Structure 1
Amino acid sequence: MSLVDSVTKAFVPVHREGWPFIAISLVATLVVGYFVDPLFWIGLIFTGWICYFFRDPKRVTPVQEGIVVSPADGVVSHIGPARPPQELELGTEPVLRISIFMNVFNCHVNRAPMAGKVTRVAYRAGKFLNAELDKASEHNERNGLVIETEHTKIGVVQIAGLVARRIVCFVREGENLGAGDRFGLIRFGSRLDVYFPNGAAPRVALGQSMIAGETVLADLTPGAEGTGPLTRAS
């Protein structure tokens, strides 16, 4: 590997949503630092952290029929039955829900769990409870998507957290997504819930760390409950 390649790989791209925050922080750092020298270095560190928060690394999404990948970086905080949000129109019966909690140090760019057509986008205002709490799925501000294929459909819900105050969704109803495509972002700590159809087999455990667009969450293939765990493609 050449020196140029090594340097290039060391720098992770920053998502466009982060540039206004970086610019504001940098200007404030220069202004305040002009008058108080120690604050310049504190501001510079803070600006660096904002760059880190809005990082948007490349991901390699496994391609296999029936698998669903994680839509977010973070930790699995819930696996079990739950009723989907009413606005997604996925029925009133409990289905498998897997929740991924993102802290302020995780990458917050959200990626499509599977390929399909976005048949519903529904935003709902709400509270800003700690996203780790189970009741956050019901009470917090959220934005939900339904991604549908010829054979199945899933629900993906972006949930604002205690610190998060802005849910960003890049897609609209009627658009087609590929597995691993970027579809949104939540600023400063939050959570993603994924609702699966009956028969889905989870492939993760509570407390497991997720990589958006890469880690396999579940298998929708008929009879998948009897298969072993899947591995990430190289």
Structure 2
Amino acid sequence: MAKEGVPWTVGFFAAALLFMMLSRRLSLEPLRYLGWICGLVALLVAYFFRDPRRKPPEGEGLVVSAADGRVAEIERGVREEIYLQSKAVRVGLILSLWDVHINRAPVSGLVELLKYVPGGFWPAFTRRARRENEHNLLGIQGSEGKVLVKQVAGLLARRIVCRVRMGDAVTRGQKFGLIRLGSRVEVFLPETVELKVKRGDRLLAGETILGVFR
């Protein structure tokens, strides 16, 4: 489980036990129902913050997915001025409430850009979310080229976590953060990268090959 989920899970389990104990001591049936509800919420929180083991593929020039989710958009010829400063390929992923929400580095390299941008909280699947929502930018200089990851908050996902710092060395598939509840992640790649995914594909962070540098 991601460490961000531990306090919530423990808290709801503790509340469940407390309500159950009070229900028995005071003979109040509604407290028992509250205990069951808190226990159920604790299980849901633990499921949401689950952290399954992932094995990144081996090979030269590989770019893996930064997030679990469905490929909602692929846009070529995008002018990316913040980090790549060139035309790029943008791959937009939508994460449902039930996807694993831990984000992973697409390539090995050095963190050269970290930028938090405040904004709104439109639903993750809308165009306004991509343009206007709160987001965090992570730029990685890999051996083959630069990659930019954009963590985007959504209507429910109002907490972006990024655990790396400027100058950190990351490895392909390494966990670097998460977005709580349903959200959106975008990856900007140089046009020299040959994509290996298409719209509608479901990807696994750190395992699914997004593309290959050519």
CA deviation map 1:108-145 (0-9, x unaligned)? 11100011111111100010111111331220110011
Aligned to 1:59: 54
Are residues 1:125 and 2:118 paired? yes
Unaligned runs of 5+ in 1: 1-13, 222-234
How far apart, in 1, do the equivalents of 2:94 and 2:44 lie? 20
Aligned to 1:11: none
- Partner residue of 1:142 out of 120, 124, 135: 135
Do the aligned partners of residues 192 and 171 (structure 1) sit closer, same or farther apart at CA in structure 2, a change above 3 Å counting? same
1:173 aligns with 2:183: no
- Distance in 2, matches of 1:194 and 1:89, equals 12
- The partner residue of 2:2 within 6, 12, 15 is 15
Q: Which deviations, in whole Å up to 9, do the C-alpha atoms of 1:203-225 show, x marking residues without a partner?
A: 1111111111000111112xxxx
> Which letter maps to 2:205?
A
The CA deviation at 1:32 is 4.1
User: How far is the alpha carbon of 1:61 from its aligned partner?
Assistant: 0.5
- Under a length normalisation based on structure 1, what TM-score does the superposition of the two structures give? 0.83
How many pairs are equivalent?
A: 205
Structural RMSD (CA) = 1.5
Corresponding residue SS for 2:190? coil
Note the C-alpha offset of 1:80.
1.1
The farther-off stretch of 28-37 and 109-118 is 28-37
1:109 aligns with 2:102: yes
Aligned partners of 2:87 and 2:190 also within 8 Å:
no
Q: Are 2:188 and 1:195 equivalent residues in the alignment?
A: yes
Amino acid at match of 1:65: E
Of 171, 189, 206, 2:199 maps to 206
Q: Per the alignment, do residues 150 and 217 of structure 1 end up closer, same or farther by CA in structure 2, a change over 3 Å counting?
A: closer
> Residue type of the partner of 2:7?
P
Structure 2 stretches lacking a partner, 5+ long: 24-30
Q: What TM-score comes out, normalization by structure 2 length?
A: 0.90
Corresponding residue to 2:42 among 23, 44, 47: 47
Distance 1:189 1:24 in 2: 22
Distance 2:143 2:102 in 1: 27
How far 1:15 sits from its partner (Å)?
Answer: 1.3
Question: Structure 2 matches for 1:145-156, cutoff 5 A?
Answer: 145-156=138-149
8 Å Cα contact 2:194/2:212 also seen in 1: yes
Instruction: Flag the 1:151–1:69 CA change in 2: closer, same or farther, 3 A.
Output: closer
Deviation at 1:202, TM superposition (A): 1.3
Which secondary structure does the structure 1 equivalent of 2:12 belong to? Answer: helix
